[in-house]
Amino acid sequence: MDTTRRLWLGLGALLLASFGVLLFMGSEIHRQAPPMPEAVVTTHGDTLFTRTDIENGRRVWQSIGGMQLGSIWGHGALVAPDWSADWLHREAEAMLDLLARDQGLPDHASLDAAKQAELQARMRPELRNNTWDEARGTITVSPLRAAAMSTVAAHYESLFSNDPATADLRETYAMRDNTVGDMENRRQLSAFIWWTAWATTAERPGSSISYTQNWPYEPLVGNTSTPSSFIWTMFSVLFMIAGIGLLGWHYAVYHGKDATPEPPASDPLAALKPTPSMKATAKYFWVVIALFLVQILLGAITAHYQVEGQEAYGMALADWIPYSLTRSWHTQLAVLWIATAWLGTGLYIGPAISGHEPKFQRLGVNVLFVCLLIIVIGAFSGQWLAVMGKMDLANNFMFGHQGWEYTDIGRFWQLFLFVGLMLWLFLVGRALWPALQERDDTSSIVGLLFLSTIAIGLLYGAGLMWREHSHIAVVEYWRWWVGHLCVAGFF
Q: Tell me what the mean pLDDT of segment 437-459 comes to.
A: 84
Banded pLDDT at 227 (limits 50, 70, 90): very high
Q: Tell me what the mean pLDDT of segment 473-486 comes to.
A: 90
User: What is the total count of domains within the chain?
Assistant: 2
Question: Taking a C-beta distance cutoff of 8 angstroms, is the pair 432, 449 a contact?
Answer: yes
DSSP 116-130: HHHHHHHHHHHHHS-
Give me the long-range contacts of 480-483 (CB less than 8 A, separation at least 24): 481/22, 482/406, 482/407, 483/405, 483/406, 483/407
- Bigger pLDDT: 179 vs 11: 179
Give me the long-range contacts of 475-481 (CB less than 8 A, separation at least 24): 475/404, 476/73, 476/75, 476/404, 477/25, 477/26, 477/29, 477/30, 478/26, 479/404, 479/405, 479/406, 479/407, 481/22
Helix, strand, or coil (residue 356): coil
DSSP secondary structure letter of residue 261:
P
**Is 10's pLDDT higher than 70?**
yes
The answer on 315 and 209 residing in a single domain is no
Banded pLDDT at 440 (limits 50, 70, 90): confident
For the chain, the average pLDDT equals 93
The answer to whether residue 452 sits within a structural domain is yes
Give the pLDDT of residue 490: 62
Say which residues have a Cβ less than 8 Å from residue 97's Cβ, sequence separation at least 6. Answer: 107, 108
* Interatomic CA distance for residues 394 and 338, integer angstroms: 31
Domain that holds residue 87: 35-229
* Interatomic CA distance for residues 203 and 220, integer angstroms: 15
Q: What is the CATH number of the domain that holds 331?
A: 1.20.210.10
The answer to whether residue 194 sits within a structural domain is yes
The answer on 369 and 423 residing in a single domain is yes
Examine the fold and report which residue of 196, 211, 229 is the final residue of a domain before the chain moves on: 229
Give the pLDDT of residue 238: 97
Closest CA to 384 of 332, 333, 331, 325: 325
Q: What is the biggest distance separating any 2 CA atoms in the chain, rounded to whole angstroms?
A: 92
* Interatomic CA distance for residues 122 and 125, integer angstroms: 7
The answer on 213 and 331 residing in a single domain is no
* 57 Rama sector, left if φ>0, alpha if ψ -120 to 50, beta otherwise: alpha
State how far the alpha carbon of 321 is from the alpha carbons of 60, 179, 188, 332, in Å.
Answer: 18, 12, 25, 15
The answer on 294 and 176 residing in a single domain is no
The answer on 287 and 199 residing in a single domain is no
Closest CA to 415 of 383, 463, 459: 463
The Cβ of residue 122 has, within 10 Å, a number of other Cβ atoms equal to 13
The answer on 313 and 190 residing in a single domain is no
Helix, strand, or coil (residue 199): helix
Say which residues have a Cβ less than 8 Å from residue 452's Cβ, sequence separation at least 6. Answer: 490
Banded pLDDT at 296 (limits 50, 70, 90): very high
Q: Tell me what the mean pLDDT of segment 295-304 comes to.
A: 96
Asked which of 175-179, 184-188, 228-232 is least confident by mean pLDDT, the reply is: 228-232
The answer on 287 and 218 residing in a single domain is no
At 417-426, the pLDDT tens digits run: 999 999 999 9
- Bigger pLDDT: 491 vs 255: 255
The answer on 222 and 341 residing in a single domain is no
At 307-329, the pLDDT tens digits run: 999 998 888 999 999 999 999 99
Helix count and strand count (H, E) for the chain: 16, 4
Banded pLDDT at 248 (limits 50, 70, 90): very high
The answer on 290 and 176 residing in a single domain is no
The answer on 43 and 152 residing in a single domain is yes
Examine the fold and report which residue of 173, 199, 229 is the final residue of a domain before the chain moves on: 229
The pTM (predicted TM-score) of the whole model is: 0.92
* Interatomic CA distance for residues 160 and 186, integer angstroms: 7
Helix axis angle, 361-387 relative to 323-354, nearest 10°? 170
Examine the fold and report which residue of 198, 214, 229 is the final residue of a domain before the chain moves on: 229
The answer to whether residue 242 sits within a structural domain is no
H or E element, residue 133: strand 132-133
The answer on 284 and 195 residing in a single domain is no
* Interatomic CA distance for residues 91 and 148, integer angstroms: 6
Question: Taking a C-beta distance cutoff of 8 angstroms, is the pair 388, 401 a contact?
Answer: no
At 384-415, the pLDDT tens digits run: 999 999 999 999 999 999 999 989 999 999 99
The answer to whether residue 3 sits within a structural domain is no
The answer to whether residue 1 sits within a structural domain is no
Give the pLDDT of residue 491: 60
Question: Taking a C-beta distance cutoff of 8 angstroms, is the pair 128, 95 a contact?
Answer: no
* Interatomic CA distance for residues 472 and 114, integer angstroms: 39
What are the beta bridge partners of residue 40?
A: 49, 139
Give the pLDDT of residue 1: 59
At 133-149, the pLDDT tens digits run: 999 999 999 999 999 99
Banded pLDDT at 259 (limits 50, 70, 90): confident
Residue 203: phi and psi, rounded to 5, are -75, 140
Exposed e or buried b per residue across 51-68, where buried means at least 16 C-beta atoms within 10 angstroms of its C-beta: bebbbbbbbbbbbbbbbb
Q: Tell me what the mean pLDDT of segment 226-236 comes to.
A: 93
The answer to whether residue 383 sits within a structural domain is yes
Banded pLDDT at 489 (limits 50, 70, 90): low
**Is 28's pLDDT higher than 70?**
yes
Give the pLDDT of residue 419: 95
Closest CA to 405 of 461, 323, 479: 479
The answer to whether residue 20 sits within a structural domain is no
H or E element, residue 449: helix 443-459
The answer on 288 and 211 residing in a single domain is no
**Is 278's pLDDT higher than 70?**
yes
% of the chain residues with pLDDT over 90: 78
Banded pLDDT at 272 (limits 50, 70, 90): confident
By CB atoms closer than 10 A (0-12, 13-18, 19+), residue 42 is middle
Helix runs in 355-410, H state only: 361-387, 393-399
* Interatomic CA distance for residues 327 and 308, integer angstroms: 15
**Is 114's pLDDT higher than 80?**
yes
The answer to whether residue 456 sits within a structural domain is yes
Give the pLDDT of residue 424: 95
Question: Taking a C-beta distance cutoff of 8 angstroms, is the pair 141, 149 a contact?
Answer: yes
